[in-house]
């Protein structure tokens, strides 16, 4: 009897985590560059039930039983978000659709070969550096400048150029144009700024190796060769005066939230049923 109680309780925990994931997505609907996540539930390993009895137990199995589910991981959706125009010169949006020869990616950015091998679509990110000198990556292009002209994120991380140094400019950004490949030029003449500064765009070959650190920042945790600067000719461009919106689908999120709630309530009723059954077993059957 308790096996069913544990199975229902495991289902409640899994649905609670799923609900938390969806609510986090909804809370970031207006966060620039936010990438939504979805909870993946997996079943616990099946248990083999064998016949038991006496000195000569019969051989063979009665069947299999599953003992519930658990929320194994959160998968990130890295699809392109919509562009929203802000007309602010320091707002930069990334449009990334990197192609790989011989592979056609689906809407989730995944390609499955005939032999079952899975390849994920590479993604481009702005390259930033935190206070400890470590590289981080973001799609949130709502940048600002400090008093010395350094381009930084909203929380003060430095935005890096192709030379590995922070982007610094003199004067105001109103007179600066950012080209599609990230070069900074004079808006009036079109001439490159002194030193020919260019934003460093990093291509992450397998974006599933990114670890979310909050505030739209990611840390790469894969092999050292899994990141490289975006090459000329790749389908990556910067749009100045725009921001990439969150790719969360509000309508689907509400459906997922209600689905998680209903599944939670169903498991809750199963737990209540077992609780009443145990109460009868203790208080009534025990009197006989």
Task: Give the torsion sign (CA, 183, 185, 189, 194).
Answer: negative
The pLDDT of residue 203 is 95
Nearest-10 Cα torsion for 178, 183, 189, 193: 120
Say how far apart CA 167 and CA 178 lie, in whole Å.
12
Residue appearing with tokens 């140094």 = 165
Within a 10 A sphere around the Cβ of 60, how many other Cβ atoms?
7
**pLDDT in single tens digits along all 288 residues of the chain:** 577 888 888 889 999 999 999 999 999 999 999 999 988 888 877 766 666 555 554 555 566 677 788 887 788 888 899 999 999 999 999 999 998 888 888 877 888 888 888 888 999 999 999 989 999 999 999 999 999 999 999 999 999 999 999 999 988 888 999 999 999 999 988 899 988 999 999 999 999 899 999 888 999 998 888 999 998 888 999 999 999 999 999 999 999 999 999 999 999 999 898 888 888 877 776 565
pLDDT digits (tens, 9 = 90+) for 33-68: 999 998 888 887 776 666 655 555 455 556 667 778
Predicted local confidence at residue 68, as pLDDT? 81
Report pLDDT for 52: 59
pLDDT at 36: 92
Instruction: Check if the beta carbon of residue 193 is closer than 8 Å to that of residue 199.
Output: no
d(CA 34, CA 20): 16
Phi, psi of 262 (to 5 degrees): -65, -40
- Phi-psi category of 28—alpha, beta or left, where left has phi over 0 and alpha has psi -120 to 50? alpha
**Rounded Cα distance, 258 and 255, in Å:** 5
């Amino acid at each position: 009897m308790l096996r069913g109680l544990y199975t229902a309780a495991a289902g409640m925990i899994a649905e609670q985590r799923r609900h938390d994931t969806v609510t986090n997505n909804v809370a970031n609907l207006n966060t620039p560059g936010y990438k939504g996540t979805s909870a993946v539930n997996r079943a616990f390993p099946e248990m083999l039930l064998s016949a038991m009895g006496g000195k000569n137990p019969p051989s063979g199995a009665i069947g299999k039983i599953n003992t519930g589910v658990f929320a194994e991981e959160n998968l990130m959706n890295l699809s392109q978000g919509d562009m929203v125009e802000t007309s602010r010169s320091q707002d930069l949006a990334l449009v990334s659709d990197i192609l790989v020869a011989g592979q056609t990616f689906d809407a989730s950015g995944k390609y499955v070969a005939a032999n079952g091998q899975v390849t994920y679509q590479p993604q481009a990110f702005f390259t930033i550096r935190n206070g400890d000198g470590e590289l981080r990556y973001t799609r949130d292009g709502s940048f600002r400048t400090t008093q010395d002209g350094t381009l930084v994120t909203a929380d003060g991380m430095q935005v890096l150029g192709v030379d590995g140094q922070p982007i610094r400019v003199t004067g105001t950004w109103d007179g600066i144009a950012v080209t599609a490949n990230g070069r900074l030029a004079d808006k009036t003449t079109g001439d490159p700024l002194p030193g020919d500064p260019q934003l460093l765009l990093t291509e992450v070959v397998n974006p599933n190796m990114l670890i979310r650190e909050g505030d739209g920042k990611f840390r790469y945790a894969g092999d050292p060769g899994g990141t490289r600067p975006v090459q000329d000719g790749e389908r990556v461009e910067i749009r100045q005066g725009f921001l990439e919106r969150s790719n969360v689908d509000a309508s689907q999120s509400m459906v997922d939230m209600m689905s998680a709630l209903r599944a939670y309530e169903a498991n809750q009723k199963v737990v209540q049923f077992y609780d009443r059954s145990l109460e009868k077993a203790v208080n009534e059957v025990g009197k006989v």
